[in-house]
Amino acid sequence: MTRVNDEIVINGKRLKNRITMAPTVKFDFAGEDGKVTEKHIAHYKERAEGGCGLICVEATAVTPDGRFGKIHMGLWDDDQIEGHKEIVKNCHDNDVVAIIQLNHTGITANPECGEAIGPSEVETRNGGKSRAMTTDEIHKMQAAFVAAAIRAKKAGYDGIQLHGCHGYLINQFATKRTNFRTDEYGGSAENRARFGAEIIRDIRKECGDDFLISIRTIGADPDLDDAIEIAEEYVKAGCDYLQVSHGIGEIDPALQDDSKPYTIICSLGVHFHEHFKGRVPVSCVNSIFEPDQVKYIIENDLADTVDLGRAVLADPDFPKAVLEEGKSYVRCFECARCQYGPFTPHKCPAEMKRKNNG
């Protein structure tokens, strides 16, 4: 039986345990230059010391117009590399594998940063319409992702994660909900996955066989079978690691199993693990707040790794509570609006409780 503290090797990178930190954006840590700040460095140092086997640094913009806002970290310029070296060093000093998530907002662009562009013209959440990208623009955008991955490698990261879910650009190409193209980037699952798959192939070519390439991919968008077909294309292109979450719209409620100690989004990773078992490691994520949930998933061979978000924001030492029997921790309060989220005061009540308790 696999245990949470068992090692796993992913494309030559040894994770000391099966616990990983999911990418969670620090929306007001960066300045308009997109550079790493001391706040970022301290934040990831604390989480690296907390015991994770791998940390995926937050969604990082590959172009200035692809940011969530003007205070969003980036890797679109060589001048941004230096600060990332400090994050990587703190991870490696604590025997933690470090990767970074690369992203572009696409249709969901912040008007303060750039134009809403994507695979097709669709309504945007501010009442406007996105503009469909030309083939030339698609290729230039793919090159921006690859250039950011090259910078990540120069910074010392063990690999990258492409942000292929949660409604951003790679997800927008992959899903039938926003991709109505009739060229080679639309229609079949193979074509809708092409945008992301070609990025993976080019990163592999430029960064080498030993560079870990992950994608945070859709688990059901619109359905499980289609999402798995999309992921198969990413794997064929050279993806080493599937970290499964959700995309756009509702998930088929038939996938919910209330008898299990995890959510419907988490169950998507479980389904992917069953499909890809023995070929590509798979993680699951979403509302995992108890050590016993992590143990249940790993010990029952439901996923290869478990991604933690709010649990390690609330208490960086949460992994130790999973790995060490009886170790105390401060549990996430499950606030209706996470206090680490956008436009919030960054006053996480669990974090404040932990610091007040010394």
Q: Give CA 82 to chain center in angstroms.
A: 22
CA 180 and chain centroid, separation = 25
Any domain includes 340: no
Name which of 60, 168, 48, 58 is nearest 109 in CA terms.
168
Q: In 3D, which of 60, 48, 30 has the Cα closest to residue 87?
A: 48
Domain extent at residue 95: 8-12+20-279
User: Which pairs with CB-CB distance under 8 Å and at least 24 residues apart come from 344-349?
Assistant: 346/28, 348/313, 348/314
**Within-domain flag for 200:** yes
The neighbouring-strand residues paired with 56 are 99
| Domain membership flag for residue 312 | no
β-pairing verdict for 13-15 and 8-10? antiparallel
Q: How many domains does the chain have?
A: 1
pLDDT in tens, 144-175: 999 999 999 999 999 999 999 999 999 999 99
pTM: 0.97
Instruction: Please indicate, yes or no, if residue 257 is contained in any of the structural domains.
Output: yes
Which of 338, 332, 330 lies closest to 354 in space, CA to CA? 330
- Token reading at 175: 């899903």
DSSP secondary structure code for residue 219 in this structure: S
pLDDT tens per residue, the chain (358 residues)? 999 999 999 999 999 999 999 999 998 899 999 999 999 999 999 999 999 999 999 999 999 999 999 999 999 999 999 999 999 999 999 999 999 999 999 999 999 999 999 999 999 988 899 999 999 999 999 999 999 999 999 999 999 999 999 999 999 999 999 999 999 999 999 999 999 999 999 999 999 999 999 999 999 998 999 999 999 999 999 999 999 999 998 999 989 899 999 999 999 999 999 999 999 999 999 999 999 999 999 999 999 999 999 999 999 999 999 999 999 999 999 999 999 988 788 889 998 998 888 6
Q: Give the CA distances from residue 194 to residues 46, 255, 287, in Å, rounded to whole numbers and listed in that order.
A: 38, 27, 31
CATH number at residue 127: 3.20.20.70
> Directed axis angle between helix 264-276 and helix 224-237, to 10°?
50
> Strand ranges (DSSP E) for the chain?
8-10, 13-15, 19-21, 54-61, 97-103, 117-118, 131-132, 159-164, 212-218, 241-245, 282-284, 305-308
330 belongs to a structural domain: no
pLDDT attached to residue 358: 64
Distance CA 202, CA 347 (A): 41
Domain contains 286: no
Q: Are 64 and 79 in contact (CB under 8 A)?
A: no
Please check whether residue 263 lies inside any domain of the structure: yes
Listed in sequence order, the residues at least 6 apart from 350 whose beta carbon sits closer than 8 Å to its beta carbon are: 313, 314, 315, 330, 331, 332, 333
Asked if residue 319 is part of any domain, the answer here is no
